Amino acid sequence: MKAAYVFLAVGLAAASTSTLVSAEAAKKAEASAETVFSALDQDSSGYIETAEAAQSKELTEQFTMVDADQDGKISADEYTLYKGESTAAGEPAKQ
């Protein structure tokens, strides 16, 4: 019986640690996306326009896909979704 309690305690501790690590990873990924977005948004408009996207070959090639609302610019939310760091519901993506 003691072994079952020890096993349960170890399992709960591991799950708890895993959740904390995932939350920290999500925060770091979000910070990374924000940093890159800010660097690409050279005029600080809050959007990456096509001329600014030209700094990244990958982003230039995928611009129309990333620009979900097709308004000709990429918002911070669209960029975060593109980088896979959150879901459309705004939740951190599962790593």
Which domains does the chain carry?
27-82 (1.10.238.10)
Going by pLDDT thresholds of 50, 70 and 90, the confidence category of residue 27 is low
Higher pLDDT, 92 or 52: 52
pLDDT of the residue at 79:
94
Residues in Cβ contact with 11 at an 8 Å cutoff, skipping those fewer than 6 apart: none
pLDDT in tens, 57-78: 999 999 999 999 999 999 999 9
- Confidence (pTM): 0.62
Report the C-alpha gap between 9 and 72 in whole angstroms: 53
